[in-house]
Structure 1
Amino acid sequence: MHQNIIKTCIVLIFMFVTGMCYADKIDECSVKNSPWVSRGVVLFYKGECKDGFAHGNGILKFESGANYEGEWKNGFRDGKGIHTWKNGNQYIGEFKEGYMEGKGKFTSVEGDTYIGDWKHDLRDGKGTMKWKNGNKYEGEWRKNSREGQGTLTSILSAESLTYTGGWKSDKKDGYGELRHVDVDGVSIYNGYWKDGEQHGKGDAIYKDGRRYSGDWVNGERHGFGVVYYEDGSGYKGRWENGFWDYANGKRFTKEERLREYFGITNDSIKPRSENDDPELDLGYR
């Protein structure tokens, strides 16, 4: 009896030190060290073996209540399988040398889902994430963060926000377009972003008809820019934290704007005289 207890203790110590866990018949089939194995105590492995290692199809159960069922190769989870956590979270997809790697779907008990590429247990590559609140991101990922090009859509009760463009470290970054739609109309920003804020050159169209083109800093109009109003008037010059800098800018009327656009000056406008040839005048109509 004591010898059996001692033998069991030796086996458990060996399993803990090496990160290896063995099947029902310890001397016949083993599971190699892998991330999930090292994170929890394994109750048992039951399945096919080859040359002393799990190989083929098998089931691995953890003391925590989690389990894996699927394909194995040379002792590693490798191929297609299903990992289910005790809380109900589940991954269905491809594995490589013990990691979630390749194509797969993760579903949380809260209702969030991710379908796409995985690498070393992380979302990496291209994939689509849907949250239970209705938000959706479709695009590129790197090490579990949105990185590269992608589209985020947020749907609220009476409005929607859609951003398409660059991402870095899970934030809007680089060039992109943000479109906001609600009952009052549509507003659009096209331009550059940094750390999730408008930053650099950008153009904005507002719901009330205003249009701004110019510099942005940390989400505010800041630097040089021009704003146009629906009546044709506007302001051109320096901006400070979203407001006009009157000392370094100028308001203009619609007429002044048109004159500037067509290059018209007071000197270029000559009054008609009685000697003007009416036929010549008609020729310019």
Structure 2
Amino acid sequence: MGSCCSDQNIQNQFDNHNARVTNLYQETDAQTEEIKKQTPANVTAAQVEYIISDEKREEQENKQEINNVSNDQRIDIYQYVQFVENYKDYLDEQGLINNVKIDQFEKHIQAQLKNILKIPIQNEDGSYKLASGAIYEGKLDENYGKVGKGKLKDKDYEFEGEFQNDLPSGNGKEIRKQVVYEGSFQKGLYDGFGKLSFPNGRVYEGNFKNHQFHGKGELINDDGVRYKGDWENGCLLIGVISYHDGSYYTGSLKGNFFKDGKGTLYNKESMPQYEGLWENDQPKICKVFNIFDNHHIFYDGEMENYAITGKGERFYPDGKYQGQLQRDRKEGKGNMLYSDGAKFEGFWENDLQTKGKYIYNLKNPQFFYDGQWKNGIQEGEGEYKYPSGGIYKGDIKANKRHGFGTYLYSNGNKYVGIWDNNNQQGDGQFYFASENNEHGDVYSGQFEQGKFNGFGNYFYKKSGKQYIGYWENDKWNGIGIFRNKDGKIIKCGEWKSDKFIKDVDEKDVVFPADWENKYKIISDIGEQLQNPQDQDQQ
């Protein structure tokens, strides 16, 4: 655009331009007048006059040109020359704004306006009033940016320290709505070592990065709880939480200072209470220490809401339990190893055994009870196996054989019948062992304190003979009948301690009713005497 530089061309362009812009400035709004008032003296009128909105420009260009223009609306020739030189890239050959580039021109003018409005106003005391209304004491660079040491004060905000590129950088002190930070800044952000104090008493002292706690530091909360350790982007990841009562936690954390991951909670004597894995601020799988017993471990396993719940290992003065627990009570499947060498394997309910195997001593695991329990004692149906080799299967009550049951002796003898307080008591059958695993003699009758006592039927296997009558202490005692293998009576009378005393007529012999069915001899040792309750139902 060299043609725009001669005097005649400039004059012609100036005249044409004044005529065209007369209409443009006639309806300049209050915003333009306000801009003029705030504009420093060294800014040209041309720069101001062309700062109008897109809508206003379109509205003005659609109106008719007005020929009569007052002098104060016209642009000085020298201002116009300066305008042409500064904005020639946006003008056509006639010196008018190129319609194609009008959007770019307006953006350029708006950017200049922003810069104009940023220019601080210097006060009499040497301080500057910024466009925001804040007061600044210090040096400004050529772009009116704050630089070096200075003070900045605004409503609810104060800063004193070092500036660089218009932002706090270096050491300084900031007060923002009673929140005080004193330390290192970088590009206007807390960065480096510093101390941040809140009006409620909360204080953080340590390292910052990008306005967040980052690195090593300590936060003292308004409730007095302390959080110290390694921070990352405002979160304490690994550190120590110290509580009012002197207890403290050390280990991994996540947002909101929740204990999460591996960590240990100590009491005020620095003795551990919970050690292990945490989740959402609660122990998940931990060792729990007894603070009343030299801090020995009394539990190691799963937890829920600080309660011993789940699968774990619980330690007691008399032994160790491994299995399921519910709020520190044995519940579900689990094993208890007792200090005396005994062991229980089975199921629990409300801290008591319900069904399982109790080994009396692991040194002799063949000696055990396997069956039902009630209120912590052996009761119900079960099986005993004794060190002697004897085996009992049947009813149990209060840890004893009681009710209907079968006892197999180690020598092959067997009792099937009623028990009372560990004794054969009532109706039953006793099978004597013989060679070839066949039963020998059989007694079917009444028992007392484990002896044949009362009425009974005794079958002699070898001879086939049979005694039917009364007994006392395993001996014939009272009225009885002795038969041969064919059923013929050998003797009928009264005995005392196995000795025959006198004859009695068979017609005068009185035996219990239905004795033949009740005390019949079962020939097959594999058969067992029926439970009297079952007999009653038949």
TM over 0.5: yes
Partner of residue 405, structure 2: 150
**What amino acid is the match of 1:92?**
E
Q: What are the residue-to-residue correspondences of 1:209-220 with 2, within 5 Å?
A: 209-220=464-475
Runs of 4+ in 1 over 4 A off after TM superposition: 230-233
Distance between the aligned counterparts of 1:219 and 1:186, measured in 2?
17
Partner of residue 226, structure 1: 481
Query: Deviation of residue 48 (structure 1)?
Result: 2.5
Distance between the aligned counterparts of 1:129 and 1:55, measured in 2?
33
Aligned identity (percent) is 25
1:243 aligned to 2:496? no
- Tell me: higher relative CO, structure 1 or 2? Use CA pairs within 8 A at least 6 residues apart: 1
SS at match of 1:165: strand
Query: Deviation of residue 210 (structure 1)?
Result: 2.5
Query: Deviation of residue 43 (structure 1)?
Result: 4.3
2:307–2:328 contact (8 Å) kept in structure 1? yes
2:429–2:444 contact (8 Å) kept in structure 1? yes
Q: Deviations over 1:187-242 (max 9, x none)?
A: 00011112211222210012333210011223222121111235845111112122
2:481–2:489 contact (8 Å) kept in structure 1? no
SS at match of 2:324: strand
SS at match of 1:88: coil
Kindly tell me: are residues 58 and 183 of structure 1, through their superposed partners in 2, closer, same or farther at Cα, counting changes over 3 Å? closer
2:421 equivalent among 152, 166, 169 = 169
Kindly tell me: are residues 44 and 228 of structure 1, through their superposed partners in 2, closer, same or farther at Cα, counting changes over 3 Å? same
SS at match of 2:413: strand
Partner of residue 264, structure 2: none
**What amino acid is the match of 2:491?**
Y
1:62 aligned to 2:324? no
1:44 aligned to 2:298? yes
Query: Deviation of residue 164 (structure 1)?
Result: 0.8
Partner of residue 448, structure 2: 194
Kindly tell me: are residues 97 and 42 of structure 1, through their superposed partners in 2, closer, same or farther at Cα, counting changes over 3 Å? farther
Partner of residue 180, structure 1: 432
1:24–1:44 contact (8 Å) kept in structure 2? no
Kindly tell me: are residues 146 and 63 of structure 1, through their superposed partners in 2, closer, same or farther at Cα, counting changes over 3 Å? closer
1:23–1:45 contact (8 Å) kept in structure 2? no
Partner of residue 367, structure 2: 112
Query: Deviation of residue 87 (structure 1)?
Result: 4.4
Instruction: Decide which moves more: 237-246 or 183-192.
Output: 183-192
Larger Rg: 2
Q: Deviations over 1:134-154 (max 9, x none)?
A: 321111100100011111111
Query: Deviation of residue 46 (structure 1)?
Result: 1.9
Distance between the aligned counterparts of 2:357 and 2:500, measured in 1?
50
Greater share of residues in helix = 2
RMSD: 3.1
Query: Deviation of residue 78 (structure 1)?
Result: 1.3
**What amino acid is the match of 1:177?**
Q
Distance between the aligned counterparts of 1:124 and 1:180, measured in 2?
29
Distance between the aligned counterparts of 1:161 and 1:214, measured in 2?
22
**What amino acid is the match of 1:172?**
Q
Q: Deviations over 1:50-81 (max 9, x none)?
A: 344311122112355x2111111122111111
Report how many aligned residue pairs link the two structures: 217
Q: Deviations over 1:145-188 (max 9, x none)?
A: 001111111132xxx20111111101111211111022397100
Distance between the aligned counterparts of 1:144 and 1:24, measured in 2?
39
**What amino acid is the match of 1:121?**
G
Distance between the aligned counterparts of 2:273 and 2:333, measured in 1?
20
Distance between the aligned counterparts of 1:53 and 1:200, measured in 2?
59
SS at match of 1:155: coil
In structure 1, runs of 5+ residues without a counterpart are 9-21, 30-40, 252-285
Kindly tell me: are residues 92 and 249 of structure 1, through their superposed partners in 2, closer, same or farther at Cα, counting changes over 3 Å? same
SS at match of 2:409: strand
In structure 2, runs of 5+ residues without a counterpart are 1-245, 248-267, 276-281, 284-294, 507-538
Greater share of residues in strand = 1
